[in-house]
Amino acid sequence: MTHSTQTLKQEIHSETLYDLQFVGDPQVSPDGSKIAYVTTSINSKKKYDSHLFVYDRKTNKSTQWTHGEARNQSPRWSADGESIAFISNRSGKNQLYVMPVAGGEAHQVTTLKNGAANPVWHPSEAKLMFQTSLEEGDDLHNSEDEKKDEELKPHIVDQLHYKADGKGLLDNKRSHIVLYDSQTEKLEQITSGPYDHSDPSWSPDGSTIAYVRPQDDQPGSYMLADLYIQKLGQQPYRLNEKSGGFAKPIFSPDGKSLSYFGHGYEYEGATLTKVWVTNLNTNETTCLTESLDLECSDVLISDLHWANPSPGAVWTQDGQGVYFQGSEHGNTGIYYSNLAGEVTRVVGGDRHIYAFHYAKDTDEAIIGVSDPTHIGDLFTVSLENKQEQQITRSNDSFQDTYEIVAPESFTYQSKDGLEVEGWLIKPAHFDASKTYPLVLEIHGGPHMMYGNSFMHEFQLLASKGYAVLYTNPRGSQGYGQSFVDACRGDYGGGDYEDVMAGVDAALEKFSFLDEGQLFVTGGSYGGFMTNWIVGKTNRFKAAVTQRSISNWHSFYGVSDIGHFFTKWEIGNHFTEDPQKLWDHSPIKYVDQIETPLLIIHSENDYRCPIEQGEQLFVALKNQNKTTRFVRFPESDHNLSRTGLPNLRVERLNQIVGWFEDYKA
């Protein structure tokens, strides 16, 4: 009976993206009786709406608290539980609002011309701090509605870091922390100077804040970020003595210590994130995860759960330890460390815990959970007895309607004996008597990982009759420091052998795969690898390269991260060893490409700029190779995850259509 019901389910298609809901950012009320969270969906105009919902733990029901066509996000409870602050773009720009829990309209707190973000309530008073972008001399009371008729002017650049993906060309604005007093309704700028300030947190007595501030924009210093402590009304001081990249400072319950994430870039961009604690009286610093070969963050890739806010390393109520997210072997879980650095995983399983909020009073976590066959919902879990209760069912109708195929995990040995993990999704409505084409998917980063999270794209390909293979080659996170560092300086070497060995292992293990019907696609680093593969082998019938790198020489100067990422990952700047960069550039081998290649790129991609796709397309076309170039307007590097919904659907249609054109 189960098999019969399963086979009657519908096949997923590109437009089913519009039917999905994305649930995240859970926040427990101070008394533990309610849980606020955000649900994002796609409206009839093919735009995103995000709304606040509140789950009542007594009635076990959720109520929608915001409405209309808007993005409402970042709900945060006041210390007395009587108000919720949140960010909304209902006025046209992200601004800060406060809503009374007892009922009534939300009050718009800010009308700042550059908007507001990241609200954080004072631990005892009716005050909020938040972030906004300001230029020197800006008035906090300037309205977003104030417009100036300005003539076009040239954009003058003095800084090395002058553009960013998702933002475009940068200006002289800096992110500052502002304090709002709800009693007086006054705004007060707390931070100053030509620096960006982020991740603000309060000390327990509300007298002091901690935050993160990047170092000066100089060669070699980009990505370095320091921790600062600032008593209100006084000058800040830098906490960390060692330079590195640090984030998410949180005061201990007694205010005497600070937990945070970070590292010293010992392996540059491939360095594992660690958990640290500093005693604020003695400045003694301890790395709690020093003995643990673990990435202490969520680096699991999903096309549905992207950029959920990290809570940091959150303190237990007694201040004797911290909880944090960690990633290993294709899973993310919740880990606990005591102050002696003894670490245990307290919430695990073959799944993706993409959201996490800790309720100190009840010692429980509210978690967002996805796995390969479950799109994503919120659960409560007792951290003492590990009992879980599902509190949202946001996509039950979708999962009841469409066939979703569970992957099979396996490990295999690469050419040099390295063990690599992979997964294979069988085609929907699988028939063991038939053979099927195979699509190899290669993730970006490269220092991220595939694993046990729902991927709409993979399920779409399975519904179209393809088996889907995805692996974590060397350079991926989740398998320790040596593994994640192993591709640097060797792009297209051992990592290429890893993914090709994965194809061979899948063909040997799964007899229903058709060796003559192989396809490949990937984005960012996965796009680089797709370009590299088709320049090295003709085994694939067709390929789709997305937001790719084709030429490291030009990438060095045109990418928002090229001036440091090139050396980090390839081993040299182009001024130091141009031949090495050329040898690792897929465009060098364009004359060897015979595989039909679809090139997908976003017009506003500042991470892997569209000229990377342009170069490859022109070089292929000039040699009369089979290729097509699809350019997506108003889209950046994150088209597949956060792009305009209709363009995300069209991207999927282009990928499937290209493969269908070459499938036997």
For the record, the structure tokens of 149 come out as 């008729």
> Is the confidence at residue 605, as pLDDT, over 60?
yes
User: For the ranges 151-165, 344-358, 403-417, which has the lowest average pLDDT?
Assistant: 151-165
Residue type, 262: G
Does a cis peptide bond (omega within 30 degrees of 0) precede residue 446?
A: yes
Phi, psi of 496 (to 5 degrees): -60, -45
> How do beta strands 364-371 and 352-359 pair?
antiparallel
Contact status, residue 414 vs residue 494, Cβ threshold 8 Å: yes
Q: What is the pLDDT of residue 137?
A: 80
For residue 17, count CB atoms less than 10 angstroms from its CB and return exposed for 0-12, middle for 13-18, buried for 19 or more: buried
Selecting among 14, 175, 476, 524, the annotated active-site residue is 524
Contact status, residue 115 vs residue 95, Cβ threshold 8 Å: yes
Contact status, residue 572 vs residue 268, Cβ threshold 8 Å: no
Q: What is the pLDDT of residue 357?
A: 97
User: What average pLDDT does range 508-533 have in this prediction?
Assistant: 98
Rounded Cα distance between 639 and 633, Å, is 10
φ/ψ bin of 268: left (φ > 0), alpha (ψ from -120 to 50), beta (otherwise): left
Matching residue, tokens 């390393």: 313
Pick the closest to residue 294 from 243, 331, 340, 249 (CA basis). Answer: 331
User: What average pLDDT does range 530-556 have in this prediction?
Assistant: 98
Q: What is the widest separation between alpha-carbon atoms in the chain?
A: 75
State the pTM of this model: 0.96
Rounded Cα distance between 246 and 223, Å, is 9
> Is the confidence at residue 553, as pLDDT, over 80?
yes
DSSP string, 197-246: -EEEEE-TTSSEEEEEEE--S-TTTTT-EEEEEEETTS--EE--SS-SEE
Rounded Cα distance between 222 and 204, Å, is 32
> Is the confidence at residue 2, as pLDDT, over 60?
no
Rounded Cα distance between 468 and 422, Å, is 10
Question: Active-site residue 524, yes or no?
Answer: yes
Give 430-458 pLDDT, tens digit per residue. 999 999 999 999 999 999 999 999 999 99
Q: What is the pLDDT of residue 145?
A: 59
Contacts of 435 (CB under 8 A, 6+ apart): 512, 513, 514, 517
Q: For the sheet with 542-546, list strands across it.
A: 407-413, 419-425, 467-472, 436-442, 513-523, 542-546, 597-602, 627-632
Question: Which H or E run includes 651?
Answer: helix 645-662
Long-range (24+ apart) CB contacts under 8 A made by 214-219 are: 215/243, 217/159, 217/160, 217/161, 218/160, 219/160, 219/563
Q: What is the pLDDT of residue 323?
A: 98
Selecting among 259, 357, 637, 640, the annotated active-site residue is 637
Contact status, residue 97 vs residue 88, Cβ threshold 8 Å: yes
Terminal-to-terminal C-alpha distance of the chain = 34
Contact status, residue 311 vs residue 358, Cβ threshold 8 Å: yes
For the record, the structure tokens of 425 come out as 């999704």
Domains of the chain with CATH codes: 404-550+585-662 (3.40.50.1820)
Question: Active-site residue 637, yes or no?
Answer: yes
Distance of CA 103 to the CA centre of its chain: 34
Question: Which H or E run includes 569?
Answer: helix 562-570
Distance of CA 411 to the CA centre of its chain: 26
Pick the closest to residue 259 from 246, 242, 278 (CA basis). Answer: 278
For the record, the structure tokens of 17 come out as 């993206």
User: What average pLDDT does range 29-37 have in this prediction?
Assistant: 96
Contact status, residue 187 vs residue 140, Cβ threshold 8 Å: yes
- Size of the chain in residues: 664
Angle between the 525-536 and 494-509 helix axes, to the nearest 10 degrees? 80
Residue type, 530: T
Rounded Cα distance between 116 and 131, Å, is 6
User: What average pLDDT does range 343-358 have in this prediction?
Assistant: 97
For residue 410, count CB atoms less than 10 angstroms from its CB and return exposed for 0-12, middle for 13-18, buried for 19 or more: middle
In percent, the amount of the chain with pLDDT more than 90 equals 90
Residue type, 151: E
Which residues make beta-bridge pairs with 231? 208
Q: What is the pLDDT of residue 307?
A: 73
Split at pLDDT 50, 70, 90, the class of 479 is very high
> Is the confidence at residue 361, as pLDDT, over 80?
yes
Average pLDDT over all residues of the chain: 95
Rounded Cα distance between 438 and 426, Å, is 9
The 8-class DSSP code of residue 404 comes to -
Give 54-111 pLDDT, tens digit per residue. 999 999 999 999 999 999 999 999 999 999 999 999 999 999 999 999 988 999 999 9
